[in-house]
């Protein structure tokens, strides 16, 4: 495999620091990834050379900035292989994209008694927006259960699908367990009943190539900051036939064609869903992040991360009394575990003293923790800049902490 990790690491200046006197090893990539200089520079360039509000300007800077923003939209389109760039709506991230969908799809298509299917392993942002609709509209949420490995039980999904189902909304990859869900099967089964499907790709686009046309999903959402891009930007892909029929989400500038007190008409896609001044520097930064991962190659990234996952899993098995949560056959580079009954918070705090950054807690997936009847886990998630040497340090650190508690 042709991958030069040392040169990749040089793109991430933040990784060069020490924490508590130890070299930083950053394993919290499922929460957010670090940013390469290519992304930082692209954002800096906006503000040092062409910052100007977009779309409505006639002057030079506004035109340059508008072009850069729309170029970023095309990059997102190509990245997920959407058919049209106007099917890409910029949002603040996955959370806002799902809230947009819940509000606008809910307003346009849902009524009391309609059912939405999610799964047991969803992030809160793919649960709570639907619960708000449960409250406001009386819709009903159905949940696909999981088995002990953290895989969706598809036979149960079959039983939940019915003529009452109006939307299926599931994660592509679980943030807490790393499970890669069989989304193509999930989509095909829903479509057999003409039910649209939204895929939460927050944990996927940085690990696997996504082709929304091949998947034939109706909506796909993700965040820039988990893809080496800036915070505060993400995207909602939606098939134009759905987006055209959906009510707008926010009202304001740019999303209108004409405004009058006797009635307002709305703009065409994608602007209908982008009220107000958008985060154009964020979108341009996201475009730079997409360039960055594409230059390395998502297949190369996926293969390297898989190697790290396998290595880390094997090494961690040597830790006495470790219990893994999430042992699906198809997994992304996320490892969730507990050692003895050491509270994840204690483990995380002590690892931090060794310069090892992991995430601890419920990972915004409390229903999943409820399933396993645990308060939370320790989670190490790997990205393109992690190394086997760092994993060795992590394993050593975990062994030291568990000896301390023995
Ligand atoms: N969905 C999944 C699977 C996630 O992992 C996350 C974040 O961790 C989100 C949604 C929410 O993403 P954001 O906070 O970027 O909106």
With bands split at pLDDT 50, 70 and 90, how would you rate the model's confidence at 57? confident
Same domain? For 59 and 201 the reply is yes
Same domain? For 283 and 354 the reply is no
Cα of 325 to ligand 1 centre, how many Å? 19
Residue nearest to atom 6 of ligand 1 (CA): 202
- CATH number for the domain spanning 123: value is 3.40.640.10
**Mean pLDDT value across residues 338-356:** 97
Same domain? For 180 and 144 the reply is yes
Give the model's pLDDT for residue 233. 98
Rounded to the nearest integer, the mean pLDDT of the chain is 97
Same domain? For 234 and 268 the reply is yes
Residue 322 domain-assigned (yes or no): yes
Rounded CA-CA distance 290/210 in Å is 12
| Ligand 1 atom closest to the CA of 226, numbered from 1 | 15
pLDDT tens per residue across span 194-221 = 999 999 999 999 999 999 999 999 999 9
Residue 347 domain-assigned (yes or no): yes
Rounded CA-CA distance 275/92 in Å is 12
Rounded CA-CA distance 373/350 in Å is 24
- CATH number for the domain spanning 22: value is 3.90.1150.10
Give the model's pLDDT for residue 295. 97
> Beta partners for 199?
170, 220
Give the model's pLDDT for residue 3. 86
pLDDT tens per residue across span 283-329 = 999 999 999 999 999 999 999 999 999 999 999 999 999 999 999 99
Whole-model pTM?
Answer: 0.98
Boundary of a domain, candidates 248, 279, 294: 294
Give the model's pLDDT for residue 10. 98
Residue 65 domain-assigned (yes or no): yes
| Ligand 1 atom closest to the CA of 97, numbered from 1 | 16
- Cβ–Cβ < 8 Å for 8, 343: no
With bands split at pLDDT 50, 70 and 90, how would you rate the model's confidence at 1? low
Residue 355 domain-assigned (yes or no): yes
Give the model's pLDDT for residue 183. 98
**Mean pLDDT value across residues 33-58:** 96
Residue 390 domain-assigned (yes or no): yes
**Mean pLDDT value across residues 102-112:** 98
Same domain? For 23 and 129 the reply is no
Cα of 132 to ligand 1 centre, how many Å? 18
Same domain? For 66 and 190 the reply is yes
Same domain? For 215 and 327 the reply is no
- Cβ–Cβ < 8 Å for 90, 249: no
Same domain? For 66 and 80 the reply is yes
Asked if residue 223 has its Cβ within 6 Å of ligand 1, the reply is yes
Cα of 366 to ligand 1 centre, how many Å? 14
Residue 35 domain-assigned (yes or no): no
Same domain? For 217 and 290 the reply is yes
Asked if residue 150 has its Cβ within 6 Å of ligand 1, the reply is no
Residue 48 domain-assigned (yes or no): yes
Asked if residue 93 has its Cβ within 6 Å of ligand 1, the reply is yes
Same domain? For 273 and 349 the reply is no
Residue span of the structural domain in which 68 resides: 40-294
User: Residues near 202 by Cβ (< 8 Å), separated by ≥ 6?
Assistant: 93, 94, 123, 125, 171, 175, 221, 222, 223, 226
Question: Across 133-285, where does the E strand assignment appear?
Answer: 140-144, 165-171, 197-200, 219-223, 234-238, 256-258, 265-266
Asked if residue 206 has its Cβ within 6 Å of ligand 1, the reply is no
The SS3 assignment for 377 reads strand
Does residue 91 register a pLDDT over 70? Answer: yes
Boundary of a domain, candidates 271, 294, 317: 294
Asked if residue 200 has its Cβ within 6 Å of ligand 1, the reply is yes
Number of domains in the chain: 2
Same domain? For 133 and 26 the reply is no
Residue 14 domain-assigned (yes or no): yes
User: Which residues are identified as catalytic?
Assistant: 364
Same domain? For 65 and 190 the reply is yes
DSSP state of 49: I
Give the model's pLDDT for residue 208. 96
Boundary of a domain, candidates 267, 294, 321: 294
Does residue 169 register a pLDDT over 80? Answer: yes
């Amino acid at each position: 495999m042709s991958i030069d990790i040392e040169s990749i690491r040089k793109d991430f200046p933040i990784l060069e620091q020490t924490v508590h006197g130890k070299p930083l090893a950053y394993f919290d990539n499922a929460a957010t990834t670090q940013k390469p200089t290519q992304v930082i520079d692209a954002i800096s360039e906006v503000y040092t050379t062409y910052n100007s509000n977009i779309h409505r300007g006639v002057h030079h800077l506004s035109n340059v900035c508008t072009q850069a923003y729309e170029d970023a939209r095309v990059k997102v389109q190509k990245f997920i292989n959407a058919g049209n760039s106007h099917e890409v709506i910029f949002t603040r991230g996955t959370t806002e994209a799902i809230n947009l969908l819940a509000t606008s799809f809910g307003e346009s298509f849902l009524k009391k008694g309609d059912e939405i299917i999610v799964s047991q392993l969803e992030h809160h942002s793919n649960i709570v927006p639907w619960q708000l609709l449960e409250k406001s509209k009386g819709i009903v949420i159905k949940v696909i259960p999981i088995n002990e490995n953290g895989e969706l039980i598809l036979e149960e999904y079959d039983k939940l699908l019915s003529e009452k189902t109006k939307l299926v909304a599931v994660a592509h990859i679980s943030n807490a367990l790393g499970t890669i869900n069989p989304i193509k099967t999930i989509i095909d089964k829903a479509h057999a009943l003409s039910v649209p499907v939204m895929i939460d790709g927050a944990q996927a686009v940085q690990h696997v190539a996504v082709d929304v046309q091949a998947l034939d999903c109706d909506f796909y959402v993700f965040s820039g900051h988990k893809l080496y891009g800036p915070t505060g930007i993400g995207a909602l892909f939606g098939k134009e036939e759905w987006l055209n029929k959906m009510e707008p989400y926010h009202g304001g500038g740019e999303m209108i064609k004409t405004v009058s007190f006797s009635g307002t008409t709305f703009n065409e896609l994608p602007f209908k869903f982008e009220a107000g001044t958008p985060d154009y520097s964020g979108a341009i930064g996201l475009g730079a992040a997409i360039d960055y991962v594409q230059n390395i190659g998502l297949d190369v990234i996926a293969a390297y991360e898989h190697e790290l996952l396998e290595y880390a899993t094997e090494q961690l098995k040597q830790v006495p009394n470790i219990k893994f949560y999430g042992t699906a056959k198809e997994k992304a580079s996320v490892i969730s575990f507990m050692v003895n009954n050491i509270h994840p918070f204690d483990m995380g705090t002590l690892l931090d003293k060794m310069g090892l950054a992991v995430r601890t807690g419920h990972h915004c997936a409390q229903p999943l923790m409820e399933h396993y009847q645990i308060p939370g886990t320790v989670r190490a998630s790997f990205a393109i800049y992690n190394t086997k040497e760092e994993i060795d340090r992590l394993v050593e650190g975990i062994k030291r902490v568990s000896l301390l508690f023995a």
